[in-house]
Structure 1
Amino acid sequence: MALWVRFTRDGTEGFGTLDGETIAVHSGDLLAGATPTGATLALADVALLPPVRPGAFIGLWNNFHAAAAKQGNPIPEFPLYFLKNPRCVIGPGAAIRPPAGYEGKVLYEGELGLVIGKRVSNADEAEAGAAIFGLTCVNDVTALDLLFADASFPQWARAKGADSFGPIGPVIATGLDWSALSVKVALNGRVRQDYPLSDMIIPPARIVSLISREMTLQPGDVIACGTSLGALPMRPGMQVAVTIEGIGTLENAYAPAA
C-alpha cells in the first residue's frame, strides 16, 4: 500500500509518497513507474494539491442500493454517468464557492473516487480492474437549483461543473480493498453521511469496463462512484470533511461567492 500526494513548496510542484508526517519525494510519472529521489519533506512544510489533474472527470448517479430504495429508483444495469468539468477540481483545504449570483442550494456528496492508471478501451472486468491505479476521496458538489432550472433540459454539467465543485484528495491510496471501506461526511464535525461501499450497485471494475466500451479512459482520469443517503445542502462557513479509512480526510470550507 502507498499513499501518493502532489504538493507545492516555494512555488515548485512535486509528488511523492506520504508516511505519517513525511513525504518521500519522487520523480518521473506518478502513475507510471515513479522513482524515489532520496529526498524527504515534512508534510507541514508543503501545501497539498489535488493528487491528480484528470483529463476526464466522470460521476455516477444512483449507484447505491440504500439510496435507490429510499428514492424509489430502479436498479441500473449500466452506469448512469455524467461528466464534471475537470477544471472544477480543487485540493484539500481549498474553498468551495457557489457561482457568482447563485443563491440556491449547494449539496455535498461524499464519494469514492477511482483514479485510472493506464489507457483502457472496451475492456473486460479483469483488464478494467487492473487499470485502476488507486482510490481517493471526492466531494461531488452540486448546485441543486441549477440542475432543473430549465424544465426542458436537466443541466448536469452546469450544476456539477462550476469552479471549485470538484474537491479531490488528500491522497491516492493503492492496495486497498474498496469493498471493506465506508464513506463518512461531517459538517462542522457532525457526521451526516456514513455508508458502506459494499452497498454499491455497480462495482469499480465493472464501472470502468462498461464506461470504457463508449469512452476511452486515460491515465489520470477520475470516476466518482456515486453517493448514498445523507447528502444535504451546505451553508457558508461550514467545514465539509469526507473521510474514507485508509485514504484519509478531504476537508474543504464552503465559503460565500467571491
Structure 2
Amino acid sequence: MTRWVRFDDGGTPAFGVVEGDQVRVHEGDMFAGATATDRLVPAEGLALLPPCEPTKVIALWNNFRALGTKLGVSVPEDPLYLLKAVSSITSPGATVPRPKAYDGRLVFEGELGIVIGKKLTNASVEEAEAGIFGYTCVNDITAGDLLNKDPNFPQWARAKSFDSFCPFGPVIATGLDPATLTIRTILNGSERQNYPVTDMIFPAADLVARISADMTLMPGDLIACGTSVGVGAMKEPENVVEVLIEGIGTLRNTVLA
C-alpha cells in the first residue's frame, strides 16, 4: 500500500509518498510516472492540501442498503448522483465557515472517496478497476434545509457546493481492497457513523464503469461513494468532524455552524 499526500512547500504545491514519519517528495505527475527524489520532509506539521485536484466531484445518493432501508426508498437500477462544484474542495484540517447566504442545518456525511487514475470512457468493470488510482476520506457537507426548500426542484448541487463543503484526504491510499474498509465518523468526540463498504449497492469498480458510460472520467476526479446511517446536523458553534478509514487515515475539519 502507498499513501500519497500533497502539501504546501513554501508557497508551491508539492506531493510525495508517506514513509513512516516522513514524506518522500516526488516529481512529475502523480498519476503518470511520478519519480521519487532524494528529498525527505517530516510528515508532522506539513500544511496539507487536498491530495489531488479533481476536474469534477461526483457524489452518490442512495448507494448504501442500510440507509435506503431506513429512508424507505427502493434500490436504484443505476447510480444516483450529483456534481459538487470543484470550488467546494478544501484541505484536511481546514475550517469550514458557515455560508453567509444560508442559516439552516449543516449536515456531515462521512464517505469513502474513489480517486480516478486514468482517463476512462465507456470502461468495462475490468478497465474501471485498473483505472482506479486509490481511495480517500470525504466529508460531503450538506446544507440540509436547502434540498427541498423549493418543492418544484430538489437543490442538490446548491446544497452541497458552498465553498469548503468538500474536504477530503488526508491522503490517497493505493493498493487497498475497498471491500475490507469501514467508514467511521466522529462528531465532537462522539461516534456517529460506523458502516462497512460491503453494504454499497454499486461496488467501486462497477460504480466507476457505470459513471464512465455517462461522462468521461479524468485523472484526479473524485467520486464520493455516498453515505449510510448516522448522518446528522452539526449543532455546536464549532464542530470537529473526523472521518476515519483504516489504511487511509483521519480527515479532520472544524465546521462553524
TM-score (norm 1): 0.97
The separation in 1 between residues aligned to 2:135 and 2:146, in whole angstroms, is: 29
- Find the counterpart in structure 2 of residue 65 from structure 1: 65
Structure 2: which 5+ residue stretches go unaligned? none
- Find the counterpart in structure 2 of residue 161 from structure 1: 161
| Residue pairs, 1:1-258, within 5 angstroms | 1-235=1-235, 236-256=237-257
Deviation at 1:70, TM superposition (A): 1.1
Larger fraction in strand? 2
**Root-mean-square deviation (Å):** 0.9
Deviation at 1:80, TM superposition (A): 0.2
The separation in 1 between residues aligned to 2:234 and 2:53, in whole angstroms, is: 25
The separation in 1 between residues aligned to 2:176 and 2:113, in whole angstroms, is: 12
Deviation at 1:54, TM superposition (A): 0.6
Residues 20-79 of structure 1, C-alpha deviations (whole Å, 9 max, x = no match): 320000000011111001100001242010001110100000001111111111011210
The separation in 2 between residues aligned to 1:95 and 1:225, in whole angstroms, is: 23
Q: What is the one-letter code of the residue matched to 1:35?
A: T
The separation in 1 between residues aligned to 2:27 and 2:154, in whole angstroms, is: 43
Give the conservation status (yes or no) of the 8 Å contact 1:107–1:231: yes
The separation in 2 between residues aligned to 1:77 and 1:239, in whole angstroms, is: 36
The separation in 1 between residues aligned to 2:81 and 2:101, in whole angstroms, is: 28
Instruction: Report percent identity of matched pairs.
Output: 54
The separation in 1 between residues aligned to 2:46 and 2:10, in whole angstroms, is: 8
SS of 1:211's equivalent in the other structure is helix
Deviation at 1:97, TM superposition (A): 1.9
Deviation at 1:161, TM superposition (A): 0.5
Comparing 158-167 with 13-22, greater Cα deviation is found at: 13-22
The separation in 1 between residues aligned to 2:76 and 2:60, in whole angstroms, is: 11
The separation in 2 between residues aligned to 1:56 and 1:21, in whole angstroms, is: 31
The separation in 2 between residues aligned to 1:241 and 1:20, in whole angstroms, is: 22
Comparing 197-206 with 37-46, greater Cα deviation is found at: 37-46
The separation in 1 between residues aligned to 2:152 and 2:45, in whole angstroms, is: 50
Q: What is the one-letter code of the residue matched to 1:173?
A: A
The separation in 2 between residues aligned to 1:163 and 1:145, in whole angstroms, is: 17
The separation in 2 between residues aligned to 1:101 and 1:255, in whole angstroms, is: 14
The separation in 2 between residues aligned to 1:140 and 1:204, in whole angstroms, is: 18
Structure 1: which 5+ residue stretches go unaligned? none
Give the conservation status (yes or no) of the 8 Å contact 1:137–1:169: yes
TM-score (norm 2): 0.98
Q: What is the one-letter code of the residue matched to 1:255?
A: L
Residues 106-148 of structure 1, C-alpha deviations (whole Å, 9 max, x = no match): 1000000000000000111000111100000000000011111
The separation in 2 between residues aligned to 1:45 and 1:193, in whole angstroms, is: 28
Residues 81-103 of structure 1, C-alpha deviations (whole Å, 9 max, x = no match): 10000111011110112210421
Q: What is the one-letter code of the residue matched to 1:211?
A: I
The separation in 2 between residues aligned to 1:16 and 1:208, in whole angstroms, is: 25
Deviation at 1:253, TM superposition (A): 0.2
Give the conservation status (yes or no) of the 8 Å contact 1:105–1:233: yes
